[in-house]
Structures are given as C-alpha cells and as structure tokens.
C-alpha cells in the first residue's frame, strides 16, 4: 500500500531528475538564461520565484492567521461571520486565472503598481489567503475546548489563552497549511503572468538583491512554460532541469519548516 | 470584599437566557462560607449553568443574557468595576473531565501565576515551594515529587483531576466550583477526590454539581435541588434527603425521574 503511494512520487521525480541530469550543475543555477533561452541557467527566474513566494507569504500569513484567530476565537456566530466563512470557502475555489485578472485590475492598474514583483506578490497573496485562513481555522478548532476552559478559569484573558495555549498547540497544523501554500504560490503561472512576471530579464548573477519590489521579474513556473512551449530548439534537458529546481526549491522550503516545527516542539517540556 | 460574612455566594432573582431559552428562573441561592454545597437535579436543569455564573465564565460560551444579582463575598460581580481576572482568581473551577494543560505538572501549577504577572521574574525556589505546597494540599506530592516534569496529560485520571484542583490553589481562591468532578473517575478515585474535598472545606467554600445523589449525601453540608431552571429546595443535606419539603424533591430523591 505504502509502495503504491510512494511509487508515483518516486517515478515522477526520478524521471524528471534523469532527464535533467546532463544539465544539472552549480553553473546552471547561478547563470542567467542565454541565447534566447536556449542555453545558460535559471538564476533570474529562480530568484524571481523566491521573491514572489516570500513576499506573498509575508503578506498573506499575518493577515490569514489573524483572520482565522478572529473567526475561531473571538467572532460570535452571526450573519456577518457566516458571510465571511462562506466567502473564504468560495474564494478558495476561484480559478487562479480569475485571481490573475483581479490582480491586473486592482493592483497593476487601479493601485498603479504597474507590472511589478509587488503587484504579483499581492495577487499571489490574495490567492493563497483563503486556504491559509481555512487551514489555520481548522488547526485552531482542533485544540480541545478543555484547554481553553482550563486557561479561562485561572483568569487568563482571551488573548493570553490564545498566545499561551491555543497557538502553541496548533502551530503544527498552521505551518502545514502554510507549506502547502508555498508550493501552490511557487507553482502557479497564471496569476503572475499578467501582474509581474516577464518572459526574459537578465539580472546580476549571484546577487541575491538583484530585484527591487517595483521591478518585473522572471519566475520558474513561467520560464518552464516558455521554454517548453514558446521557444523552438530548446535542448531537451533544459525544461527538465528547470522543473527539478522548482521542485527542489519547494522541497527545501518544506524541509525548513519541518525543522522549525520540530524545534518548536522540542522547546516545550512535554 | 467583606470578610467574615456567613455567605460566600448570594444570588437574587437570577435569570439567565441562552438566546430564547431560559435556563435559570428566579434563582435565589445562598452558599455558606467554608462549607460544601451540592447542586443536584436531573440533566438540563441548570446546575452547571448556575455554577458557571459564579465566575462569569458562561459569558465565554456565546450568547448569554442574565438579569438579577450575584454577590460573591458581598461584592456584586456584575458591577461595572469588577475585574473578571480577579473574579476568576477568587472563584476557581474544576471540570467534569480533568483538563490539565499539555505541559508539565510543574508548569500546570505555576501557569496561573505566570499568566498574571508575565513580567515578574519568579525565583525558582519560590515557585518550587508553591508547587510543593499545592501538591501537598491535594495529596499528590508523594506520588509526583519525582515526576514534576512529566507531561500532565500522561498522568492517571484521578491524579489529573487532583492536579486540576492543585492548579487553582496558588491563586489563593476563596471558592472552588466543581462540575461533576468525579464522573470520569472510577469508584476508588472518586472516594479519594471526595476525601480531598472534605479537607478543602473550611479553607475554601466548595460548590459541587453532581448527578450522584449518594455522593451529594456523603460530601456536602448543604444540598440544593434544581428542576427546569428553578431552585426547588435548599437546606442541610441530611434534612433534604430525610425530610424533603417539596414533593418534586422527594420524587427525585426516590428515583422517580432523573
């Protein structure tokens, strides 16, 4: 059974890795695409994706987590909260291309941010927000009521209860939701296509701060789309190499948050 | 708060609604200081609701409306200047299912202190003494003195329940409310907790909600019978069980319903 579950993952990753093997090297990561994207590396799109994911998460995490805390811990059950909950569930099901058009209208044109990393990150943040709210709410709801009661009855305020009991006991679930959204944000092409990502842009190789918030950028997901469908004569291994780096980036973020998670757990004297 | 009064808790014409449902009707109830008072009655009669009024914790459970007056130690707890934090420190509560926090035994006991003075640096020796005293008061010290840092949720149920009582003590409560504290325990553990309650009486006023009439008889000095949100009869325990005045009380005690 386990094999059945693991086999597709191993097959997919293994196949991509095998196809990408001839091109993989440190140079591939640290050089910009060259020759009309037919050779060279993926430095520019890789850095662009990192910027987009981190910035969008920096926007959506605090808003999403606080919204979930409000909905689960403070809000009374009335028509307003029911509307908000309904909106959250429905927004989670909106196709990403619709988010893209909303981002184009709201951030690029109306707010006047132009096509930029900031506008694209805001669009991604809007896209990930409902899922973050929903998953955080679920994690909070899983904390037994008895813990809250215990806390209230020694005179703790609602916020103290949340800070000392509810959040520490739901942080695993919250982080799991965030990880999923990292992968989601990194992989989406449509929302960034209209709002901040470009086909080609060369940046200073090896410079981590090569993009500014109002620059346009390349992104791995869009680069993968471009070189596999829009540019003729791309060497076979190039798209696979791009795919494996995209996968690796997401896996690295996941690994990082697992480390954070175990650290958090180890700090408690359970 | 006046010391030396005969009654720790006094309610006057207390009414309570959950939405449209009236859960308490004109309850006039007085609890003698330093004694154990038991609340009995069939399920849904408002015992737990009444208990939760005494530290205003039922306000955290959603839409609740009350009218009337509750005085704890002579102080009206619905007065605007009442601090809910002080009230809940004064009036602690123990629940049906033991609910220690998923932290160590030691941290459970000092949790309240840490919450109430987050900036104060507690000296370890002071905290150690507080923990030892609290555990001795509930007869857990000998069992747990070498296991102060195990997770409290791994203890046996009766130890957990005693710990939940111990957790209130560092806050120096006056009144301890117990909501069916033994219903999750076996008979032996129940006896141990009852014994503990008897030693707590005198130092603390105890109000206990129970389904178990034998238990009410064993532990309480006074007993109150509730039905459909009303307080039917309240008197010394032996009188209530031997010579109930109200026929409904008699019926309940004889097991005709409930």
Q: Which of A76, A77, A164 sits opposite B115 (nearest CB)?
A: A164
Which tens digits make up the pLDDT trace of B97-123? 999 998 899 999 999 998 888 778 788
Instruction: Say if residue B4's pLDDT is above 70.
Output: no
Residue B44 pLDDT: 86
Q: Which of B95, B102, B167 sits opposite A154 (nearest CB)?
A: B167
Determine the angle formed by the axes of helices A167-187 and A237-267, rounding to 10 degrees: 170
Residue A24 near residue A197 (C-beta atoms within 8 A): no
Rounded average pLDDT over B31-45: 92
DSSP string, B162-204: HHHHHTTGGG--SEEEEESTTTTS-HHHHHHHHHHHHHHBTTB
Residue % of chain A over a pLDDT of 70: 98
Rg (CA), chain B: 18
Residue A268 pLDDT: 53
Instruction: Say if residue B28's pLDDT is above 50.
Output: yes
Question: How many angstroms separate the CA of residue B253 from the nearest CA in chain A?
Answer: 31
Give B2's pLDDT tier (boundaries 50, 70, 90).
Answer: very low
Sign of the C-alpha dihedral, residues B125, B129, B134, B135? positive
Q: Which of A155, A268, A269 sits opposite B88 (nearest CB)?
A: A155
Rounded average pLDDT over B59-63: 79
Four-way CATH pick for A55-267: 1.10.3720.10, 1.20.950.20, 2.40.430.10, 1.20.1070.10: 1.10.3720.10
Give the mean pLDDT of chain A: 89
DSSP string, B42-101: STTSSHHHHHHHTTTGGGGGS-EEEEEEEEETTEETTSTT--HHHHHHHEEEE-SS----
Scanning B1-40 for CB atoms below 8 A from A yields: none
Rounded average pLDDT over B150-154: 90
Give the mean pLDDT of chain B: 90
Question: How many angstroms separate the CA of residue A68 from the nearest CA in chain B?
Answer: 18
Q: Does B180 touch chain A (CB under 8 A)?
A: no
CA angle B192, B193, B199 (to 5 degrees): 95
Q: Does A157 touch chain B (CB under 8 A)?
A: yes
Give B1's pLDDT tier (boundaries 50, 70, 90).
Answer: very low
Residue B115 pLDDT: 87
Instruction: Say if residue B35's pLDDT is above 70.
Output: yes
Residue B17 pLDDT: 92
Distance CA B207, CA B217 (A): 14
CB atoms within 10 A of CB A87: 12
Which residues of chain A fall short of a pLDDT of 50? Answer: 269-270
Residue A222 pLDDT: 92
**Interface contact B88-A76, CB threshold 8 A:** no
Distance CA A154, CA B111 (A): 8
A-B contacts at Cβ under 8 angstroms: 71
Would you say how long chain A is, in residues? 270
Question: How many angstroms separate the CA of residue A129 from the nearest CA in chain B?
Answer: 27
Residue B43 pLDDT: 87
3-state secondary structure of B222: strand
Residue A267 pLDDT: 60
Determine which helix (DSSP H) or strand (DSSP E) holds B239, and give its type and residue range. helix B237-242
**Per-domain boundaries in chain B:** 7-253
Q: Does A269 touch chain B (CB under 8 A)?
A: yes
What would the CATH number be for the domain defined by B7-253?
A: 3.40.50.300
Q: Does A247 touch chain B (CB under 8 A)?
A: no
Rounded average pLDDT over B123-152: 92
Which tens digits make up the pLDDT trace of B65-75? 899 999 999 88
Distance CA A131, CA A177 (A): 8
Rounded average pLDDT over B25-40: 93
Residue B258 pLDDT: 61
Tokens 């449902």 -> residue? B21
β-pair type (B64-72, B7-18):
antiparallel
Where are the alpha helices (H) located in chain A, listed in sequence order? 2-20, 26-30, 43-69, 79-92, 96-103, 117-141, 145-152, 158-161, 167-187, 190-193, 220-225, 237-267
Q: Which residues pair with B159 in a beta bridge?
A: none
Distance CA B2, CA B134 (A): 26
Residue B116 pLDDT: 86
């Amino acid at each position: 059974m386990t094999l059945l579950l693991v086999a597709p993952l191993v097959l997919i990753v293994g196949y991509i890795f095998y196809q990408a093997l001839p091109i993989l090297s440190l140079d591939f990561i640290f050089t910009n695409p060259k020759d009309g994207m037919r050779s060279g590396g993926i430095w520019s799109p890789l850095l662009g994706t990192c910027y987009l994911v981190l910035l969008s998460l920096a926007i959506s995490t605090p808003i999403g987590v606080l919204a979930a805390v409000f909905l689960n811990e403070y809000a009374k059950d009335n028509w307003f909260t029911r509307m908000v909950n309904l909106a959250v569930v429905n927004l989670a099901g909106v196709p990403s291309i619709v988010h893209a058009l909303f981002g184009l209208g709201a951030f690029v044109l109306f707010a006047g941010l132009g096509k930029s990393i900031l506008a694209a990150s805001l669009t991604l943040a809007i896209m990930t927000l409902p899922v973050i709210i929903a998953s955080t709410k679920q994690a909070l709801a899983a904390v037994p009521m008895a813990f809250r009661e215990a806390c209230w009855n020694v005179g703790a305020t609602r916020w103290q209860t949340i800070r000392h009991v509810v959040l520490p006991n739901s942080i695993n679930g919250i982080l799991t939701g965030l990880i999923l959204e990292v992968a989601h944000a990194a992989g989406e092409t449509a929302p960034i296509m209209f709002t901040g990502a470009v086909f080609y842009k060369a940046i200073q190789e090896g410079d981590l701060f090569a993009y500014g918030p109002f620059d346009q950028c390349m992104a791995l997901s869009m680069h993968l789309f471009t070189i596999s469908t829009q540019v003729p004569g791309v060497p076979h291994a190039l798209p696979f190499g791009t795919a494996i780096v995209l996968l690796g980036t997401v896996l690295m973020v996941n690994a990082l948050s697992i480390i954070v998670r175990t650290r958090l757990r180890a700090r408690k004297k359970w | 708060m006046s010391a030396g009064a005969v009654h720790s808790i006094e309610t006057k014409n207390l009414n309570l609604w959950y939405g449209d449902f009236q859960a308490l009707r004109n309850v006039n109830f007085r609890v003698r200081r330093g004694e154990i008072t038991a609340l009995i009655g069939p399920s849904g009669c408002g015992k737990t609701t009444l208990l939760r009024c005494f530290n205003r914790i039922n306000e955290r459970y959603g839409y609740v409306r009350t009218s009337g007056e509750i005085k704890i130690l002579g102080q009206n707890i619905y007065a605007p200047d009442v601090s809910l934090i002080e009230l809940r420190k004064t009036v602690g509560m123990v629940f049906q299912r033991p609910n220690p926090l998923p932290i160590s035994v030691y941290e459970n006991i000092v949790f309240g202190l840490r919450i109430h003075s987050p900036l104060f640096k507690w000296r370890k020796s002071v905290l150690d003494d507080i923990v030892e005293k609290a555990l001795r008061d509930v007869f857990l010290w000998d069992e747990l003195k070498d296991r102060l840092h195990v997770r409290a949720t791994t203890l046996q149920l009766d130890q957990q329940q005693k710990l939940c009582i111990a957790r209130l003590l560092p806050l120096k409560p006056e009144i301890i409310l117990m909501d069916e504290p033994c219903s999750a325990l076996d008979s032996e553990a129940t006896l141990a907790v009852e014994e503990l309650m008897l030693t707590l009486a005198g130092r603390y006023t105890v109000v206990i909600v129970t389904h178990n009439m034998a238990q009410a008889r064993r532990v309480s000095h006074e007993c109150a019978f509730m039905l459909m949100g009303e307080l039917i009869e309240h008197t010394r325990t032996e009188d209530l069980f031997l010579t109930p005045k109200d026929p409904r009380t008699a019926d309940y005690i004889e097991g005709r319903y409930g």
